[in-house]
Structure 1
Amino acid sequence: MAFSSEALKFTVRRKPAVMVAPAGPTPRELKRLSDVDDQDGLRFHIPVIYFFRRGDGGGRCDDDPAVVLRNAVAAALVHYYPFAGRLRELEGRKLAVDCTGEGVLFIEADADVRLDHFGDALQPPFPCFEELIFDVPGSSALIDTPLLLFQVTRLACGGFVFGVRMQHAMADAPGLVQLLGAIAELARGGTTPMVRPVWAREMLEARDPPPLSALAHREYDEIPDTDNKRTTSVPLDDMVHRSFFFGPREVAAIRSQLAPDLRESATTFELLTGCLWKCRTMALAPTADEEMRIICIVNLRGKRGAAKIPCGYYGNAFAFPVAISKAGDLCTKPVGYAVGLVKKIKREVDMEYMRSVADLMVRRRRPHFTVERAYVVSDVSKVGFWDIDFGWGRALYAGPAKGGVGAIPGVASFFIAFKNVKGESGVVVPVCLPGPVAMDKFVEEMSKILHLQDDVEELGRAATTQHVSRL
């Protein structure tokens, strides 16, 4: 049985949030974050969510998930003890974590809903998301608040939802997966995590004094106010959220439209990002001379010159390189134009680029990346959310709980590993646009690129959830 998740409503009964402290003694010290960690654009909490069915009774499947996971969190905090502390802001807006051992928030809950009520294909936006990762009053501030929040919600069918919220300044997606992997190992009966956590934030600190760089770093441009507020502001009172599935057929359709050299060399991420950027720009209908931005999250791990990033490092190790184009060019030129711009900026990120970002943060008091007319895309499909086994087998869904960056819900999309109801593997991409007219235009333009003009609904055949959010 499947119900429309757009109309799905259910009641969650939560016990009072409790503080879970490390299960053993931990050092009391002040640990400085890196100058990449504490930039303004990372000072928010990121939510991740897991859906599990009851399981077959093996391993931990018959145990209460709230008890198992609460104990595993306490054990993991012995190794990842900075997460049990609190952030402090030092001179120059510098962030440091005071390792107090106070602990993290944990919520135990029950809901009168079954997994099958969420529909055949679990994907963001999730109905009643705010009930599954509850924002405990006062807990989402930056300073002197818990750095992690966990919620286990038992469902009427015996399955459960595991929600996690983490202060982004402490870690990036690979770092969060590393922490969750440690919790999973301990939940399954392990005694210590296989991967030893490494702090080492000094390797991404600014030089002293921070030199001027030859790199432009236009992702941190200061853009003056403009009279055209139609595309520079996000109308938070009428945002339409929809998730789209891209499998082999969709990727092949985009690739077929590229020039031969780009057709051979472009990655799936570059193809999809360029296509999304073009269609989103057309949906927003800016004036032809407006500058539109695509910001790609590019992780330093595995890049050239990144040998100094040690195994076990869980801090933020990514950059926000940006490509800029006139809206008219994006709208009128073939999709390969946007794909080529994305491909070019991905190559810019290396260790020197990251050091230059750290230097800029100190020189300019840790600015936010530019969000005016910007679209942020991050590929978390290969980060490893799906690979984590807490003792209940493979999750039905594992990954970001919603799109958006901090308090800016309309500017970001994630690529999330996904298998649709037909068994096709690909990525699902949440997209958020200002109103149903813009979303309809987005679907129309995407359908043209994917050769689906005769059936625009085919685009969303495995990801048809639509939800109008009035925040």
Structure 2
Amino acid sequence: MGTTLYQTKTPNIIQDLKVTIHDTITIIPPHPTENRSMFLSNIDQVLNFNVETVHFFVSNPQFPPELVAEKLKSALSKALVPYDFLAGRLRLNPDSKRLEFDCNGAGVQFVVGSSEFELGEIVDLVYPNPGFRQLVQKSYDDVAMHDRPLCIFQLTSFKCGGFAIGVATNHATFDGLSFKKFLENLASLAADKPLATVPCNDRHLLAARSPPQIQFDHPELLKIPAGVDLPNPTVFDSPEGQLDFKIFNLTSNDIAHLKKKAKDGPYSPNAKITGFNVVAAHVWRCKALSSGSEYDPERVSTVLYAVDIRSRLNIPSSLVGNAVLSAYASAHCKEIEEAPLVKLVELVTEGAKRITAEYAQSVIDWGEVNKGFPNGEFLISSWWRLGFADVAYPWGKPRYSCPVVFHRKDIILLFPDIVGASNDNEVNVLVALPSKEMEKFEALFHKLLA
């Protein structure tokens, strides 16, 4: 198979992009908006941390970075009317003890910077370069929560005329799907066009029932004992110690091979053989069998992965916020090692099918009763088909869009390849593990792909 590896120590990576910040301004709505408090769902409540993305654009003589900056400022200001909460601040309601948005029109931050390099000199935009952190303004962690901007844009120009737009948003504002729609709306406003999608801001659509009705067991959720604070970030603690990381590129041929391998195995009527499901099954097997210092066939391995619940709950696809839950698949390591690929695909398929409307509502109600967060051996975080690089701005589509990566042992990231960011059949798998576990994972990745 044609699997490509980007090694931990990659030559030709410029880690210091020599970015100078020239200006920082506050963007506010073009006219006063209603001062109100905005309800946040139980899913939003546990996502009080920042998500950072960078969107790279090649030079366009009709849209030099200075003009792009002005158009972005204007579009952002207009967007703060339908997305009024984005100009607000996060606060803890003293009565309910819940987080909420204070829609007070305080504004979002807009930062202008420049790099001493040309975009072409960075060479590899896919590689999770630590230098990309210079392209996203930090989130004022030293500022009190109720004064901290929920959204920060940074436009960094390169010497060639290309530029990067870095965006930092509090995760409580958007999930991946609603952030994509926000970018599409921003692109439309920058082109002096109407909104592409009118956002639905009613997060009460994901409110718990009264009284709560927890109808299912939820092993994918871990309850926090009373008096213990939630970790931050709340999904997994950052690991201690040194991690190696590698990117495994799965070509369309690799994925077609995995699909064929699943189809040629024993018949499994409940297995939905999709690109994501076969990749998730393959990654799960490699991760489960490489974890720990010694192999334990009786150990249970649980993989988590996101499922959008908008259609399951029959709520608008335009709903802004977090409408995603963690599906899970579990099995003993002995089964994961010995079962045909199609069996693991079946378990991944069933994990997603498990999240019916009733199950999703039970999860939301669980969050009303308990403090807790997702519970599994690791999480597959997929940016593969979010399509950020498909957003058409007046100055063109991004050359590449990517998250700013912080390497964590218990999160494996899927994201598209730069050659065809809209090519659904190619994916990069970013893995961060201690060196001995990485050796096992890499060997299994190749062996099981053969």
Which bin holds the TM-score, normalised by the shorter protein? Answer: 0.7 to 0.9
Does the 8 A contact of 2:389 with 2:422 survive in 1?
no
Q: Which residue matches 2:161?
A: 158
Candidates 36, 49, 57, aligned match of 1:44? 49
- 2:96 counterpart of 1:97: no
Does the 8 A contact of 1:46 with 1:167 survive in 2?
yes
- 2:300 counterpart of 1:301: no
Candidates 9, 33, 38, aligned match of 1:26? 33
Deviations 1:56-80 (A, max 9, x none): x34x457532222122211211221
Q: Which residue matches 2:409?
A: 410
Q: How far is 1:16 from its partner? A: 4.8
Matches within 5 A, 1:326-365: 326-365=332-371
- 2:180 counterpart of 1:177: yes
Task: Give the whole-Å Cα distance in 2 for the aligned partners of 1:181 and 1:422.
Answer: 16
Q: Which residue matches 1:229?
A: none
Q: How far is 1:384 from its partner? A: 2.8
Q: How far is 1:48 from its partner? A: 1.5
Does the 8 A contact of 2:21 with 2:114 survive in 1?
yes
SS at the partner of 1:449? Answer: helix
SS at the partner of 1:161? Answer: strand
Q: Which residue matches 1:426?
A: 425
Q: How far is 1:349 from its partner? A: 1.6
TM-score between the two structures when normalised by the length of structure 2:
0.86
SS at the partner of 1:343? Answer: helix
Deviations 1:285-328 (A, max 9, x none): 4541332210010012344xx32x11421121111122222234
Q: Which residue matches 2:392?
A: 389
Q: Which residue matches 1:111?
A: 115
CA separation of 1:141 and 1:340: change in aligned 2, threshold 3 A: farther
SS at the partner of 2:149? Answer: coil
- 2:83 counterpart of 1:75: no
| Deviates most, 101-110 or 251-260 | 251-260
Does the 8 A contact of 1:108 with 1:153 survive in 2?
yes
- 2:300 counterpart of 1:291: yes
Deviations 1:237-283 (A, max 9, x none): 31223222222211122223322535983111110001011112233
Task: Give the whole-Å Cα distance in 1 for the aligned partners of 2:144 and 2:409.
Answer: 21
TM-score between the two structures when normalised by the length of structure 1:
0.82
Letter of the 1:361 counterpart: G
Does the 8 A contact of 1:45 with 1:140 survive in 2?
no
CA separation of 1:337 and 1:51: change in aligned 2, threshold 3 A: same
| Structure 2 unmatched runs, 5+ | 1-9, 226-235
CA separation of 1:131 and 1:141: change in aligned 2, threshold 3 A: farther
Q: How far is 1:419 from its partner? A: 4.7
Task: Give the whole-Å Cα distance in 1 for the aligned partners of 2:331 and 2:318.
Answer: 38
SS at the partner of 2:181? Answer: helix
Q: How far is 1:420 from its partner? A: 3.4
| Deviates most, 193-202 or 330-339 | 330-339
Q: How far is 1:329 from its partner? A: 3.0
CA separation of 1:61 and 1:155: change in aligned 2, threshold 3 A: closer
Letter of the 1:338 counterpart: L
Deviations 1:404-460 (A, max 9, x none): 6xxxx2222333233538997633334232333332322221111222xxxxxxxxx
Does the 8 A contact of 1:54 with 1:61 survive in 2?
yes
Does the 8 A contact of 2:327 with 2:352 survive in 1?
yes
Q: Which residue matches 2:288?
A: 281
Letter of the 1:291 counterpart: V
- 2:196 counterpart of 1:194: yes
Task: Give the whole-Å Cα distance in 1 for the aligned partners of 2:104 and 2:12.
Answer: 42
Percent identity for Structure 1 against Structure 2: 25
CA separation of 1:311 and 1:290: change in aligned 2, threshold 3 A: closer
Letter of the 1:79 counterpart: P
Letter of the 1:189 counterpart: D
Does the 8 A contact of 1:8 with 1:117 survive in 2?
no
What's the C-alpha RMSD, in Å, of the aligned pairs? Answer: 2.7
Does the 8 A contact of 1:403 with 1:430 survive in 2?
no
Q: Which residue matches 1:315?
A: 321
Q: How far is 1:129 from its partner? A: 2.2
CA separation of 1:421 and 1:94: change in aligned 2, threshold 3 A: closer
Deviations 1:29-78 (A, max 9, x none): 1111122221x2x22111111110002x34x4575322221222112112
Task: Give the whole-Å Cα distance in 1 for the aligned partners of 2:237 and 2:389.
Answer: 35
Letter of the 2:219 counterpart: R
Q: Which residue matches 2:217?
A: 216
Task: Give the whole-Å Cα distance in 2 for the aligned partners of 1:355 and 1:62.
Answer: 46
Letter of the 2:414 counterpart: F
CA separation of 1:435 and 1:12: change in aligned 2, threshold 3 A: same
Task: Give the whole-Å Cα distance in 2 for the aligned partners of 1:322 and 1:48.
Answer: 26
Task: Give the whole-Å Cα distance in 1 for the aligned partners of 2:443 and 2:150.
Answer: 41
